[in-house]
């Protein structure tokens, strides 16, 4: 009897030891998982899987991570005017990008075609899709009355603040209760089109945090160098709005020519150049006095880019297939070059030596040397390239194609065996 009891006690002890060992094992496994999870949040996020854009859509490569501060860009083979655009990525998947803008702090925002009612946010290094954000808002939550329920916008263009914390996005027209007539491209200032809004995107919350009333069919957006004001071109009002960032209110409206679009602002924070696209004119504007001076007559001026030293303004005129170089000291055109069929948006390299222009009807991007205004390269794109941005953190060029794709080009290296020659033969367009 005693022996049987001893054997039962022995079995009981062994069972206790086995249970204890199992508990210890589970604790170790749980601790390891906790450490792994902590590491995943405390280090760079993983790149999107090869062949996806982070949302399961095909045709994308990988690499890199998001950051709130601008990292050191990769090494480059000399100035941008001598390097070669090489396509490194293409992704699709429910996007119809009309414009694209890099924050220079690791984020890229793309506004999809207005009836898509979304913007998409990407990590500029991995090209991973971070969020697809709808343009739907409850305006009462932003202190705007008269539009009960949910309203929708129609994103067009974006401008990032210098610190990369905010992006202001123009909304072509609004949909919902209590809005005026819907906007359209051939509207005039007496068409009765309702006023619209400027949304502010917050990069910390990845959401809209301000809605600011502006004019009818706002399109292009620019921020003064001192970051105090946002300037918006109102397509159907024939005006520009000046918005005070501190109060988030429109403080001035300045009359411009027909269908104003592109804007650049000089370092004095009061002088702007504005392209009145359907008015076929470019104006110099005093933002404080509210006065305008005609500096150029040209057919269909669309987009403006300022050189880093502010000595030159570059103008893309879609009606003449030409990019013009304008001296800001004299307001005279000093050089010009045919870019390709209908140049629309442009961007400029961080060193200011190269312009990149999308040719909407040419399904291409032209690279132009700013020193001599010659096309030094041309690369093919998908159909209808319409938006473009240069990301300083990667030395990469993003191209938004209206048909439903985004292309990414590296611009760090010269082509094998190249010595500054064009990456593709320049043609007259």
Q: What is the pLDDT of residue 390?
A: 98
Find the DSSP H helices in 315-355.
none
The CA R_g of the chain, rounded to the nearest whole Å, is 27
Strands 343-348 and 354-359: antiparallel
Strand, helix or coil for residue 292:
strand
Asked whether residue 98 is domain-assigned, the answer is yes
Q: Any residues with CB less than 8 A from the CB of 26 and at least 6 apart, and which? A: none
Cβ distance 323 to 332 under 8 Å? no
Q: What are phi and psi of 39, to 5 degrees?
A: -65, -35
Which run of H or of E encompasses 107?
Answer: strand 107-112
Q: What angle do CA 320, 96, 88 make, to 5 degrees?
A: 85
Q: What angle do CA 279, 283, 287 make, to 5 degrees?
A: 125
Q: Residue 327 is encoded by which pair of tokens?
A: 């001296």
Tens digit of pLDDT per residue, the chain (429 long)? 434 333 344 434 344 454 444 443 443 334 443 333 333 323 333 333 333 333 333 333 333 334 445 667 888 889 999 999 999 999 999 999 999 999 999 999 999 999 999 999 999 999 999 999 999 999 999 999 999 999 999 999 999 999 999 999 999 999 999 998 999 999 988 888 999 999 999 999 999 999 999 999 999 999 999 999 999 999 999 999 999 999 999 999 999 999 999 999 999 999 999 999 999 999 999 999 999 999 999 999 999 999 999 999 999 999 999 999 999 999 999 999 999 999 999 999 999 999 999 999 999 999 999 999 999 999 999 999 999 999 999 999 999 999 999 999 999 998 665 443 344 433 323
The sign one gets for the Cα dihedral 361, 364, 369, 370 is: positive
What is the domain-level CATH number for residue 140? 2.130.10.10
Count of the separate structural domains present in the chain: 1
| pTM summary value | 0.82
Q: What are phi and psi of 16, to 5 degrees?
A: -60, -40
Q: Which domain holds residue 224?
A: 2-27+57-410
Closest CA to 329 of 308, 310, 356, 305: 310
Asked whether residue 378 is domain-assigned, the answer is yes
- The C-alpha atoms of residue 364 and residue 263 are separated, in whole angstroms, by 24
Q: Residue 299 is encoded by which pair of tokens?
A: 């057919």
Closest CA to 403 of 358, 368, 367: 358
Q: What is the pLDDT of residue 71?
A: 66
Q: What is the pLDDT of residue 69?
A: 59
Asked whether residue 73 is domain-assigned, the answer is yes
To which residue do tokens 């992006």 refer? 167
Q: What is the pLDDT of residue 180?
A: 85
Asked whether residue 356 is domain-assigned, the answer is yes
Asked whether residue 428 is domain-assigned, the answer is no
Report, in this order, helix, strand and coil percent for the chain, each rounded to 5.
Answer: 10, 40, 45
What are the CA-CA distances from residue 256 to residues 32, 160, 231, 273, 275 (Å)?
64, 24, 13, 11, 9
Q: How many helices (H) and strands (E) does the chain have?
A: 1, 28
- The C-alpha atoms of residue 328 and residue 44 are separated, in whole angstroms, by 43
């Amino acid at each position: 009897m005693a022996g049987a009891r001893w054997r039962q006690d022995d079995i009981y002890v062994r069972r206790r030891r086995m249970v204890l060992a199992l508990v210890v094992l589970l604790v170790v496994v749980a601790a390891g998982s906790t450490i792994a999870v902590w590491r995943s949040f405390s280090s760079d996020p993983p790149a999107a899987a090869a062949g996806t854009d982070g949302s399961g859509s095909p045709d994308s490569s990988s690499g890199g991570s998001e950051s709130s501060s601008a990292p050191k860009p990769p090494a480059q083979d000399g100035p941008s005017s001598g390097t070669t655009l090489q396509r490194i990525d293409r992704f699709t998947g429910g996007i119809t990008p009309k414009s694209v803008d890099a924050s220079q702090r690791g984020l890229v925002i793309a506004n999809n075609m207005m009836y898509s009612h979304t913007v998409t946010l990407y990590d500029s290094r991995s090209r991973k899709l971070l969020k697809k954000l709808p343009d739907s808002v409850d305006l009462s939550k932003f202190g705007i009355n008269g539009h009960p329920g949910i309203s929708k916008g129609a994103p067009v263009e974006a401008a990032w603040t210098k610190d990369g914390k905010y992006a202001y996005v123009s909304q072509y027209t609004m949909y919902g209760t209590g809005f005026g007539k819907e906007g359209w491209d051939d509207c005039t200032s007496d068409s009765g089109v309702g006023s619209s809004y400027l949304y502010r995107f917050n990069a910390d919350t990845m959401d809209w945090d301000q809605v600011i009333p502006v004019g009818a069919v706002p399109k292009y957006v620019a921020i003064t160098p001192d970051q105090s004001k946002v300037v918006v071109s109102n397509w159907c009002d024939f005006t520009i709005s000046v918005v005070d960032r501190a109060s988030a209110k429109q403080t001035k409206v300045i009359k411009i020519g027909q269908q104003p679009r592109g804007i650049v602002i000089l370092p004095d924070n009061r002088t702007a150049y504005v392209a009145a696209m359907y008015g076929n004119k470019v104006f110099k504007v005093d933002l404080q006095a509210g006065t305008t001076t005609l500096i150029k007559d040209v057919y269909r001026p669309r987009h403006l880019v300022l050189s880093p030293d502010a000595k030159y303004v570059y103008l893309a005129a879609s009606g003449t297939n030409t990019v013009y170089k304008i001296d800001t000291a004299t307001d005279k055109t000093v050089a010009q070059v045919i870019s390709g069929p209908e140049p629309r948006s442009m961007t400029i390299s961080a060193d200011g030596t190269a312009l990149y222009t999308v040719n909407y009807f040419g399904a291409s991007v032209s690279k132009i040397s700013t020193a001599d205004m010659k096309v030094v390269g041309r690369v093919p794109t998908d159909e209808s390239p319409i938006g473009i941005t240069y990301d300083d953190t990667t030395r990469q060029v993003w191209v938004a194609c209206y048909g439903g794709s985004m292309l990414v080009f590296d611009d760090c290296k010269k082509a094998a065996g190249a010595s500054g020659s064009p990456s593709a033969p320049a043609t007259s367009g």
